[in-house]
Structure 1
Amino acid sequence: MLWVLPGCAAPAAGSADDDPTRPVTLRLWHGWSQKDEVKAVDEALARFHRVHPNIRVETTGNVGDATVNQALRAGGPGAPDVVASFSTDNVGQYCSSGMWTDLGPFLRRSGIEKEAVFPRVMLDYTAYRGNQCALPLLADAYGLYYDKDAFEQAGIARPPRTLSEFKAAAVRLTERTADGGYRRVGFMPDFRLYENSPDRLFAQWGPAYFDGDGSARLSREPATAAFLRFQQELIDALGGYGPLERYRTTFGEEMSSQHAFRTGKLAMHLDGEWRTRLLEADRPGFRWATAPLPVPDDRPETYGRGLLTGTVVGIAHSSRHQNAAWELVRFLTTDTDQVVAFANALGNVPSTKAALASPRLRAGPGFRTFLDIARHPLSVALPPSVNGGMYVVTLREFGYAVEAGRVRDLGKGLRQLDRQIDDDTLQSAD
């Protein structure tokens, strides 16, 4: 869920004068709702309580960012002390608005060198302009799923590493029907499919979205036009936007057993690490594997990179128990055994360097690809912005127009895109 903070309402005042060794009850709000997810959260809190028996934690689950921020603006005894959010898009707002407190002083007092604990890219998406108002609490990585049987039948020896190999494989793996439809598409490039938001594949170029002053620079970023032209070339090579869109409408829901990759309608698919667990449970009638997404032909040395995002956790500025809240945040995010156990329970990528290397991590061959992406020095995250994820929504809408052929002049369209993003940023800052 993307949410934009309407204005910069001052957060309610909190306090870091509390004694974390005294009995206290903290309120933790989070977005997990499924039975196994809630069980994993409860188990994590039980581990915390064994270390800090004086701190009791009350949880409220299935809470979205809009609800959380309304409570934080209002403050009061019912507001949360600690918040876990699924949306890294909004970190720029959490930090710039002051709703989440800066964790830098807490890290320093605890002697924690954040660069030694967390991968660089995860620190990138948990801070904004020097304010470390969040820490990573498990991560998501994006890679390529592929049908090994289909590859073998098509005579393709390995997953594609460059975009030219990717396009060639997608064409070779595509099977048409006599009436012009499809039995299978090598890869569905349409941005409306499942996780195919433009920013996911665009990450393989390592683009810069903003200048140092926060101004959008997509029209001046050479990778933007290169990415959109590649996507258009791929659409054309696979039969055109209209036929592909008609085929896409035959796919099942993303989280159902009728997912298009699961049912053999796609030979390659962009997705996150969580799909490995679903495929292992569903046991589709073909062999599958995972690999990093391909990279531009002129950047083969970057192969292995990918986009990272994930859950973030922070302390509400309105909390009057910030020192006790820090003990909870520190345990959830930096205790290696806790991070590994939580990752195993939820099937997500661990968010510390030590946990990524832990022998206790349950990681089959398909999952290990995403661990490697998380460790890759060139993996990237979406940059935080004061307008939250609105710029991603704006890029996505522009991508829809480009792929449908409604943008005749790409350069002009990209300049208009930058202006729209800048206008949204100014409105968010008012």
Structure 2
Amino acid sequence: MRTQRPAALPMAAGIALATALTLTTTACGGGSTTAGSDSSPKTLTYWASNQGTSLDNDKQVLEPELKKFEQQTGIKVDLEVIPWSDLLNRILAATASGQGPDVLNIGNTWSASLQATGALLPFDQAAFARIGGKDRFLPAAVASAGAVGKDPAAVPLYSMAYGLYYDKTLFQAAGIANPPTTWDELVADGKKLTTGSQYGLAIEGGNVSENVHNAFMLGLQHGTGFYDTSGKPQFDSPQAVAAVKQYVDFIAADKIAAPGDAEYAANQSVTDFATGKAAMLMWQAAGPSLKSHGMNPDDYGVASIPVPAGATGSQATTSMVAGINLAVFKNTHNLDGALDFVKFMTGDDEQKILNSSYGSLPPVRSVEADPAFATPELKTLAGVLQNSAAPLPQVASESQFETLVGTAVKNLLAAAAAGQPVTDATVKSELTKAQQQMPAG
């Protein structure tokens, strides 16, 4: 799947990530960028995230493009596609050891956390100049590339947003004319669509990242971003409790999602939607995966995720700013080649090819209006990114937030699936435990 799906981060790794690493580097390259000497000018290692329908699919997409880069520059790129379940821990091990790839994909929500390690090359004015300038990229995408007030730790590569996918045939059979725009409507529609082995909504309850992305979006709708203005965690506020309980209640109280969804962690919810076992799905750029399961674009519609009735401002948020960034390890032995590779991957031609292959949106201004990205699905998702998406907190502890809150939601969904009561008190207890596990400071 093209979406950002890191697995749970072990506490030892979380503590390692919270500790900024000081990496000794020697000057190399132009401007203010620094890195190790260009001792391997004809080779690069690249860690790519799993954006396609499989690791092999990613290789099929990327290898011809990497061959183009080699033909243009003489630099051979050694590719490794890493599953989301392993990627963050692999990156953390590399930052701790100083032995990482030259270039790597990172989930954009990790940008500030990985930036705090000091292991990634800052994209200052000189580095951006090497790849064509900062102004080439959409502001919302750049805003999810590092902490506010600091040079970004990466550059945007693929942009995505969440949308509500709905099965047109199942909606018609249930007498539902339009997709829901409020949560009350979604629950009411979901109950109409839940019959026999068919459910109204599919969720990926065993997936920590899916859980926290939805909790964050619902949190903003309830009036919390899970951190206060000083960057202090507020995981168990009344607003956070209400947001998480609303999500868990899809199984617990509303019963519009199957109890088995609490165990889903490998895109099974997409399969259920594509095969008619669920009528609705909240997902990022699902088109290519749905197609791989035999579902045609005419079979489904895409709308914005619902909001509370009458919601405005941040309470009308319908997605986190999703996407993948491209980063350079500060101690690369081929800084010039690494920056050339970033320029290549974010160039207009490659942006069209790669984002078209993955069903994602190009974060480059000159490409966003290309007709290839004017499908109904992508136009809807682009509108969400422009009008109703918000970045996850760009703070050093963001990865721990994802892991701990996402795991709390996973635990609550598992309890609901087992028939245990889920109350405000049980939700608050899980979120309080998550907050207590956050590193001090």
* Alignment TM-score > 0.5, same fold: yes
Matched residue type, 1:186: G
Counterpart selection for 1:39 from 33, 36, 60: 60
Deviations 1:209-238 (A, max 9, x none): 223432112444x64244234336554653
Q: Verify the 8 A CA contact 2:210 2:406 in the aligned structure 1.
A: no
Deviation at 1:112? 5.2
Structural mapping, 1:47-62, within 5 Å: 47-49=68-70, 51=72, 53-62=73-82
Answer yes or no: is 1:358 the counterpart of 2:379.
Answer: no
Answer yes or no: is 1:378 the counterpart of 2:399.
Answer: no
Deviation at 1:208? 1.8
Counterpart selection for 2:154 from 126, 131, 134: 134
SS in 2 for 1:259: helix
Answer yes or no: is 1:399 the counterpart of 2:399.
Answer: no
Q: Verify the 8 A CA contact 2:209 2:402 in the aligned structure 1.
A: no
Counterpart selection for 1:203 from 217, 221, 239: 217
Query: Where does residue 232 of structure 2 map in the other structure?
Result: 215
Query: Where does residue 81 of structure 1 map in the other structure?
Result: 102
Deviations 1:151-185 (A, max 9, x none): 1122211111111211221122222xxxxxx3322
Q: Verify the 8 A CA contact 1:142 1:200 in the aligned structure 2.
A: no
Deviation at 1:134? 0.8
Structural mapping, 1:54-203, within 5 Å: 54-62=74-82, 64-75=87-98, 79-85=100-106, 87-107=107-127, 109-110=129-130, 114=134, 116-129=135-148, 130-175=150-195, 182-188=196-202, 191-192=205-206, 196-200=210-214, 202-203=216-217
Matched residue type, 1:318: N
Deviation at 1:28? 2.4
Q: Verify the 8 A CA contact 2:245 2:427 in the aligned structure 1.
A: no
Q: Verify the 8 A CA contact 1:339 1:350 in the aligned structure 2.
A: yes
Distance change (3 Å), C-alpha of 1:269 and 1:232: same
Deviation at 1:331? 2.6
Paired with 2:265 and 2:228, the residues of 1 have a C-alpha distance of 38
Query: Where does residue 439 of structure 2 map in the other structure?
Result: 425
Q: Verify the 8 A CA contact 1:186 1:268 in the aligned structure 2.
A: yes
Structure 2: gaps of 5 or more residues = 1-5, 31-36
SS in 2 for 1:396: helix
SS in 2 for 1:158: coil
Counterpart selection for 1:26 from 44, 62, 75: 44
Paired with 1:259 and 1:227, the residues of 2 have a C-alpha distance of 26
Query: Where does residue 34 of structure 2 map in the other structure?
Result: none
Q: Verify the 8 A CA contact 2:121 2:153 in the aligned structure 1.
A: yes
Q: Verify the 8 A CA contact 1:161 1:300 in the aligned structure 2.
A: no
Deviations 1:170-208 (A, max 9, x none): 122222xxxxxx332212468347975142264155342
Matched residue type, 2:393: P
Matched residue type, 1:118: F
Paired with 2:208 and 2:131, the residues of 1 have a C-alpha distance of 42
Distance change (3 Å), C-alpha of 1:26 and 1:411: closer
Over the aligned positions, Cα root-mean-square deviation in angstroms equals 3.6
Deviation at 1:107? 4.2
**Percent identity for Structure 1 against Structure 2:** 19
Answer yes or no: is 1:343 the counterpart of 2:360.
Answer: no
Query: Where does residue 3 of structure 2 map in the other structure?
Result: none
Structure 1: gaps of 5 or more residues = 176-181
Q: Indicate the structure (1 or 2) with the bigger Cα radius of gyration.
A: 1
Deviation at 1:50? 5.1
Matched residue type, 1:296: P
Distance change (3 Å), C-alpha of 1:91 and 1:81: same
Matched residue type, 2:23: P
* Number of matched pairs: 404
Q: Verify the 8 A CA contact 1:143 1:290 in the aligned structure 2.
A: yes
Paired with 2:422 and 2:355, the residues of 1 have a C-alpha distance of 43
Counterpart selection for 2:289 from 270, 273, 278: 278
Q: Verify the 8 A CA contact 2:180 2:306 in the aligned structure 1.
A: yes
Answer yes or no: is 1:327 the counterpart of 2:345.
Answer: no
Matched residue type, 1:270: M
Deviation at 1:372? 2.9
